[in-house]
Structure 1
């Protein structure tokens, strides 16, 4: 394939135009830096936020359990991977980010007395979740705001490698997913904003890998690229995420359902979450998912239902018609097709697919083990992403003002360029398409590394991955779009292999969204983070962060 080469240079490179990327770009540009905002998607619709969002989490120091100390208590725990400095950065960015959203035209809902409409969620001690109206408009509004600041978007750019000059970040390389152009970017500093967790690693009941909850476009680069560049990752073994889904539907809205008072019922019509969390459905997401899974093991489901028939008419209307479409705009079409009316009938739900990930380790300024590479993805949720991205962008801009422009490793660039386009040269007998290869990954993950697993099942998963590894150099693409999917499937494969090995280090149950049948109890001695890095051969190395 004949490709053109394009080169860019900037002071601050933001890797990913998600909510975190938007926050990083705004803060860096406000600090006076030249900012390039890169993503394989389009700024107006990229990232999880591109699908909409119904809440923005913030403590506002207005009511009980609504301040910095409450944030410390919830987030800065021995196994969270978060320091008090990270949590303080989160807190400091909350009110500035709220103002940015409102200046951009996002409607944060208010009560008749003028205060924000907020509710409690996910086992948090206070009403931290601000309701958003028309949440599907958030990303386009932010994109317009960002462009107005003079940030330069680089859309449709798939980043395949980070580039270094010694141990400092120098830029990145990849290709245009529409035209196939080869792209390099040189920068003084960079901010990782490519997401926290990868999806497409397991199936929900629809068996459609793109009809999923959160981020089907995030497939492992957010972990593997910094790892391969020399960074370390925390909690690769316990950063799983999952949620309950409306049956056969890829977007949840469970935060709104739970924090407004929905009751989960098993097949016997019993409200059962009190057995698994003192805050019932409004407790930790992990407890609801694993509690529902346990009910299944005990024969009390499926089906499972979320019951909102006890809501007031106005609360049911607000949830079904204001909040739920914010998670996915076509939600009301789903309701119409299934004859769903929250005031009359319970909503059937199911345990959804899983996501895996981790936190790239960083210091108080969110700088990683790679010099001048900062991390904006540290805390989940729209607000966690935007606020920590905002903090990282500010730190990156200040560092960029102090350092010289690095050199790109031209020999590596040329060597890797051929590897990027290799799938386009494959084909014929013995080749395999990206989707067939990726289906193989999900079959292994669902069968051997699901919500319940053992040492033996994970060992077998690794053996199956060895079989799949032989197909990696035979993945074939006939179009640039297929080239993008091919690289996504290879990212996913590398991440899943590291993940399984990481999970084998933690011989306990109770801290993640899975249960080890061979180690069913919580081990207090493992109240610490697992640190993952790669050796010179690219193999994962693990140690405990005491």
Structure 2
């Protein structure tokens, strides 16, 4: 049975704490739907939409991570958020942040700042534009911060020197994407900039996708621990394929002879009251939903984005808590059926919950590693090489580190390999 345009708003549990399904919201009707199950899988995708510029669609708001944390699950590696270096810049458009694939740089595309300089010479003169995502994205961000950006706050990507015929033949999709917004990728430079792309942190699971809660499993971008500090291109698809299969096999074995849990009706009613609250407020009553959402995105981009500091992270944590409190008093005008403001309020709840985890984890990791860069700790720490940051948010906030357990292979120095560029 497929339920289209339904979103999960709470996990259902029995008296022993076992997960027995989820409470869904039918977006079309605005009605709550309780779905009971012997096994429940969180595979809702990540979604760094708490940032100002994002590569994913606006409805990806880290619901799965937020659901798990509200239920008391541990998360790990939340400070590791990947920013893709070449998100399209389209002024006054939600398409800003849409990816221009890495193959453009792999084929010899050049990145230029607002002065026309190939600025990667300053950051990685050996690999230049073919450096890793984190370094290229941070370099572009730095160029803009230091006043060398393009008119709309980005950098240029230029592949025209490869020849228009070559570009149009090998990058048809990218040429069309640019052309749709009036840009001619084959014949001249196009403005791009870093865009929040992928969350490498998430719920803690074992190798068979089991979580700490009986009856609950998780896979894909809802989970952490698969990609370490810097996901490689293509491994997002590989992760979903591999762990989707593992989760299915594990759950199929799990449900054999398992009784259907008797979930708490009072908990469902409490959740329904909580999520319905914005609909019951009078005009002029309540907080500005979109003002809070905009402030969260600016806050995360400025303090919890590509370049972080301890002071900035502390500021962000305090403001995120304030935004979360004020969000409880928001109003969503209109009725429950297909109410997009109501859906945006639910998104904001998940975004603030996840943003809090990212900021706390980033503050705990007092070093720079992979996608996590601290200006006040710009080097990697040998003491933190083999540990990960874990966070739990319920019943009270808690942050700690745990050693990475190596059961098969120990990391060794990387060996040079041929450059392979993909868009994932």
SS at match of 1:363: coil
What pairs with 1:140-539 in structure 2 (closer than 5 Å)? 152-165=1-14, 166-199=16-49, 201-204=50-53, 212-248=54-90, 249-273=96-120, 275-277=122-124, 278-297=126-145, 299-302=147-150, 304-311=155-162, 313-322=164-173, 331-334=178-181, 337-338=182-183, 340-342=184-186, 344-353=187-196, 358-378=201-221, 381-479=236-334, 480=336, 481=339, 482-513=341-372, 515-527=373-385, 528-537=387-396, 539=397
Q: 1:431: how far off?
A: 0.7
Name the CA shift for 1:260/1:385 in 2 (closer, same or farther; >3 Å): farther
* C-alpha contact 1:274 1:280 (8 A) present in aligned 2: yes
Q: How far apart, in 2, do the equivalents of 1:466 and 1:536 lie?
A: 15
- Under a length normalisation based on structure 1, what TM-score does the superposition of the two structures give? 0.63
| Deviation readout 1:58-100 (Å, 9 max, x if unpaired) | xxxxxxxxxxxxxxxxxxxxxxxxxxxxxxxxxxxxxxxxxxx
Name the CA shift for 1:534/1:471 in 2 (closer, same or farther; >3 Å): closer
Q: How far apart, in 1, do the equivalents of 2:105 and 2:211 lie?
A: 36
SS at match of 1:254: coil
Name the CA shift for 1:341/1:447 in 2 (closer, same or farther; >3 Å): closer
| Deviation readout 1:336-374 (Å, 9 max, x if unpaired) | x23x041x2122222335765622211121212222322
Name the CA shift for 1:332/1:387 in 2 (closer, same or farther; >3 Å): farther
* C-alpha contact 2:217 2:247 (8 A) present in aligned 1: yes
Name the CA shift for 1:153/1:287 in 2 (closer, same or farther; >3 Å): same
Name the CA shift for 1:270/1:402 in 2 (closer, same or farther; >3 Å): farther
Report the aligned-residue RMSD: 2.6
* C-alpha contact 1:189 1:372 (8 A) present in aligned 2: yes
Q: How far apart, in 2, do the equivalents of 1:469 and 1:242 lie?
A: 28
* C-alpha contact 2:296 2:352 (8 A) present in aligned 1: yes
Q: How far apart, in 1, do the equivalents of 2:98 and 2:190 lie?
A: 13
| Deviation readout 1:254-293 (Å, 9 max, x if unpaired) | 2232333322223343434355455433332111101222
Give the corresponding residue for 2:401: 543
* C-alpha contact 2:97 2:194 (8 A) present in aligned 1: no
Find runs of 4+ consecutive structure 1 residues off by over 6 angstroms: none
Where do 5+ consecutive residues of structure 2 fail to align? 91-95, 227-234, 405-424
* C-alpha contact 1:465 1:497 (8 A) present in aligned 2: yes
- Under a length normalisation based on structure 2, what TM-score does the superposition of the two structures give? 0.80
Q: 1:377: how far off?
A: 0.8
SS at match of 1:188: coil
Q: 1:493: how far off?
A: 1.4
* C-alpha contact 1:233 1:359 (8 A) present in aligned 2: yes
